[in-house]
Structure 1
Amino acid sequence: MTPVEEQGSGALAVLPILLIIGLTAMLGWQRFLDGAVPLIHDEQRYLTAFHRAESALSWAMTVPWRGEDGECRRPEGEAFRACLCAPRLTVGWVLHAQSGVLEGARGPGEINLYRRVALTRMKEDLEETGKERRSCMLTPLASGWLDYYPG
């Protein structure tokens, strides 16, 4: 054979090499994505818990409270709850919101948020038993976000 008749054999030799390189790159990318899926699920669980805790804070600002230390409230059918606390080390009230335990969480599975609030006395009611029942609404204080429970 003459050199003119042998054209194209180099391209045929390079083609399997390119296919092997492409397949290796695709397998590497797939392994990277498989490793990222648990991280994405963890982030999704965290965001769900955080938004539940924020919902607890928002909901707690709209309902009346008795104004007692340790009073906790939970809306019907929700996992989150809010508690009103009077820490010993600070002056004032702290609203403690808990997201509730999330199913399938590998860590603690619960987010806690804290916010300083003021109690606004609304009215004094007389119950059927003759006892007075205090009714208070919560008002968030400016710059009242807390990173941890102060008590």
Structure 2
Amino acid sequence: MVAKLAAHRKELLDIVDTHDDAWFAERAKEGDRTRKGMLKHLAEAEHSYIEVWAKRARDEDNPNLGNRGSIGTAPLLDEALKLSLAELRQRLDEQRVRTLQFIAETGDGEMERPIHGTPFGTLTVKQCVKSMYRHDRMHIEEMLGKPQSYDIRTRDGTKV
């Protein structure tokens, strides 16, 4: 799992390193967030999935978000355009360090603990963590204009 997290994040950061600010300020498709917005969204969503959802699942008995779990709609706005690629990369790097620390501190049995009420239904700690490399993959493909290899849906069946 950690190797897959590293591989997908490396691929994402390679894209950051090989494209300029102007490319990231563009929208991959009409009506979508900018690529910078996607980077900001990835860092903020990872914070939610790991430091809010997964941590609660690990540390509490049967926690429930009460169907209020956020999937990060605020970063869809163009506020990310104000940030440099270096700042966005730093946010991604810092959050990933916290994610890897969380994984290192979490035992195998704790990985199976559930959290209820996420936008995707009931998830285990492990599913929250695994969703990070799937989320990176989804946005890598979106940035590059490639077809999506993951069909991600919310608990009500809405495609993300």
With normalisation by structure 1, the TM-score equals 0.28
Higher relative contact order (CA 8 A, sep 6+): 2
Q: More strand per residue: 1 or 2?
A: 1
